[in-house]
Amino acid sequence: MLAAAGTGAIADERYVKLAQERRDELLELLSSMIRVRSLSGESGAEAQELVKAYLADLPYRIEASDDRPSRYENHAEYMPPNPPGDGPFVNVVGWPDTASATRSAMFSHIDTHSIDDGWETDPFRPTMRGSRMYGLGTSDDKGGVAAMLVAASILSAEGGPLPVVMSLHGKGGGSRGSLPVFERLRGGDHGIDSVLYVHPAETGRGLDDIKNAVQGVVDLELTVSGWRAPPMEIGSVDSSDWAAGGNALDMCWDLVDYLRSGVFDGVALNLGIMDGGDRIGSVADSASARFRLKFDGDYTWGGLLAAARSALDDYAGALGAADEAWQFAIEPVGYRTNPGAAAWDAPASAVLRQSIEEVTGRPPDAYPNHYAGDIRYPIRLLGVPAYGIGTIGGNFYGPNEWVDTDDLVRLVAVLVQTMNGWALR
């Protein structure tokens, strides 16, 4: 059995040595994944076959599922996938053969960003430049999948505790993989008490940052229909009496302020886009405002939307019968994701933070500013702490994506030490 993490001892070089011994295996596994296309809106079945083949040599029982986001459209944690599509999408969960009352879990996502213009190398051909490997998905997040699998193999070889491992679809909000899988786990006897999302913080600083919280976000569009008075000149819309019209743009401004100071008081509101109709010579008979809310705590995007609709109904009712021509509506139009947070000082966090410090020589920082992060699913659906860590990398959402392979090896060491430490808490 490997030594327990979190004991306050000087860095244990054994974990780093175990990871370094698997360096070639790690990079070959990652390279094989990069060569297989698995864009976010595609099933990822071929790439998941590599995951299943690797797990087949370890003491794991493999579950594969075909999941469709549309089955979860009414779920409180649902966000429409981007790019759209209903799959099905293949997700893989590996369960240790040896049963235990409680378990830890690791998950990563197999799907990648799209192929954007500007690649200087073949995105499906892993290319080494110094310690960097370039290729689509190297850092986001096939590097995480490869590190997770190799860490599980090391734990198996050393007789250490085996975590549940999951290779899922996580880009575009997680509704292709993370939501279906964690929702199924919620309904069963999973025994999972802590979760590690093997995905780097989007800061690019690798193991220097731990994601322990994600913000709630919802993008809303408020639409207002007003009216123009009859024109006083034949064929001249602009001859209408402005004072006799119902200026939708003015009303839209008033309603944004009404919501901001009312049901949205206590959350951050950023007004991003306003559309005030089709001309400047007449009142706007229609207008819209798009804005984003950011929130944490007990707020949910569904609750905020319901509160806004109720407030608009009250506002319309207060206008009276003479103003029945006004029409208001508010709908979600983009991101819709609830907040989630795991305590920075929780026992699971203490083990993780010390594991990182012992391997890298630097205590990590908390990074709570991300939104739509998949750690929210185990936090909200399973009620267990979840944290996100990963490697130094770059260009997550564009061409020339890369991962630092030296840091990827360190990540494996951290995973082995953390999973061992979590099992021995």
HEC string for 41-79: CCCCHHHHHHHHHHHHCCCEEEEEEEECHHHHCCCCCCC
What is the predicted pLDDT for the residue at 234? 83
Give the phi and the psi of residue 275 in degrees, each rounded to 5: -120, 120
Per-residue pLDDT at 278 = 84
- Which one is predicted more confidently, 173 or 341? 341
pLDDT, mean of residues 229-249: 88
pLDDT of residue 238: 85
Q: How far is CA 313 from CA 219, 318, 361, in A?
A: 20, 9, 57
- Say which residues have a Cβ less than 8 Å from residue 284's Cβ, sequence separation at least 6: 226, 247, 248, 249, 250, 276, 277
Across the range 253-265, mean pLDDT stands at 97
Helices and strands counted in the chain (H then E): 10, 18
Least confident of 50-54, 303-307, 344-348, 421-425: 421-425
Q: What integer is the mean pLDDT of 76-85? A: 94
Report how far apart, in Å, the C-alpha atoms of 56 and of each of 94, 142, 282, 402 are. 9, 19, 70, 28
- Round to whole Å and give the CA distance between 19 and 154: 8
Model confidence at 8, pLDDT cuts 50, 70, 90, reads very low
Mean pLDDT of 263-281: 93
Q: What's the whole-number mean pLDDT along residues 203-223?
A: 96
Give me the mean pLDDT over the 245-259 stretch. Answer: 96
pLDDT, mean of residues 329-352: 96
Q: Can you give the pLDDT at residue 425?
A: 73
For residue 131, what are the contacts with CB-CB under 8 A and spacing of at least 6? 404, 405, 406
Q: What is the pLDDT of residue 3?
A: 44
pLDDT digits (tens, 9 = 90+) for 320-335: 755 668 999 999 999 9
Q: What would the mean pLDDT of 155-181 be, rounded to a whole number?
A: 94
For residue 232, is pLDDT > 90?
A: no
- The confidence score (pLDDT) of residue 325 equals 87
List Cβ neighbours of 135 (8 Å cut-off, separation of 6 or more): 31, 34, 121, 123, 124, 125, 126, 127, 401, 402
Cα–Cα dist 418/389, whole Å: 11
Q: Which of 11-25, 139-153, 162-176, 394-408 has the lowest mean pLDDT?
A: 11-25
Strand, coil or helix: what is 270?
strand
Does residue 221 contact residue 419 with C-beta atoms inside 8 Å? no
Kind of pairing between the strands at 89-96 and 60-67: antiparallel
pLDDT computed for residue 9 by the predictor? 41
Contact (Cβ atoms closer than 8 angstroms) between residue 271 and residue 253: no
d(CA 366, CA 212): 7
Helix, strand, coil: what percent of the chain each, to 5?
Answer: 35, 25, 40
CA 311 to each of CA 125, 153, 265, 315, 397: distance values in angstroms, whole numbers, following the listed order? 54, 55, 13, 6, 38
What's the rounded mean pLDDT across residues 221-247?
A: 90
How much is the CA Rg of the chain, to the nearest whole Å?
25
pLDDT at 7 exceeding the cut of 70: no
Does residue 394 register a pLDDT over 90? Answer: yes
pLDDT digits (tens, 9 = 90+) for 115-165: 999 999 999 999 999 999 999 999 999 999 999 999 999 999 998 789 999
Q: Which of 34-38, 81-85, 133-137, 378-382 shows the lowest per-residue confidence on average (mean pLDDT)?
A: 81-85
Query: Would the CA dihedral through 41, 46, 48, 51 be positive or negative?
Result: negative
Does pTM surpass 0.75? Answer: yes
What length is written for the chain? 425
CB 331 within 8 A of CB 258: no
| pLDDT score of 11 more than 90 | no
Q: Which two tokens stand for residue 74?
A: 């009414």
The DSSP result for 70-130, as a single string, is GGGTTSTT----SS-----EEEEEEEESS--SSEEEEEEE--B----TT-SS-TTS-EEET
Say what percent of the chain tops pLDDT 90: 83
Are 270 and 291 within 8 A, CB to CB?
A: yes
In percent, the amount of the chain with pLDDT more than 70 equals: 96
